[in-house]
Amino acid sequence: REAELKHGRICMLGTLGFLVQEQIQLPLPGFDNKVATEAFFSVPAGGLWQIFFTLGAIEIISNNGALTPGTMFVSGRAPGDIGFDP
């Protein structure tokens, strides 16, 4: 249940990002690509690693270091209650 709620919210935000990116671009060089999949491949490898490690850190911090389903809810936290509800 935890993963379904979290991934569903991430997918909603990602879909919104795809739609907004086609209509609104920042007026800076490098932000003029309207197609999100092409923009992804124009990011340097170092930037993609930064995104990967930042998301991993957010995952660890939001679960207080508990990474297994057996220890994740010991504190009484309800599945999906991560303090963010778009």
| pLDDT tens readout for residues 28-76 | 777 777 677 777 787 888 988 998 999 888 878 877 777 776 776 667 7
What local confidence, expressed as pLDDT, does residue 49 receive? 93
- Distance, CA of 21 to CA of 18 (rounded, Å): 5
- Report the C-alpha gap between 40 and 44 in whole angstroms: 9
Position 54 scores a pLDDT of 92
Residue with tokens 């309207």: 34
Q: Are 13 and 86 a contacting pair, CB within 8 Å? A: yes
- pLDDT of 86 reads 60
pLDDT at 59: 79
Residue 49, token pair as written in the block: 């690693």
User: Whats the size of the chain, residue-wise?
Assistant: 86
Q: What pTM was computed for the model?
A: 0.57
Per-residue pLDDT, 80: 66
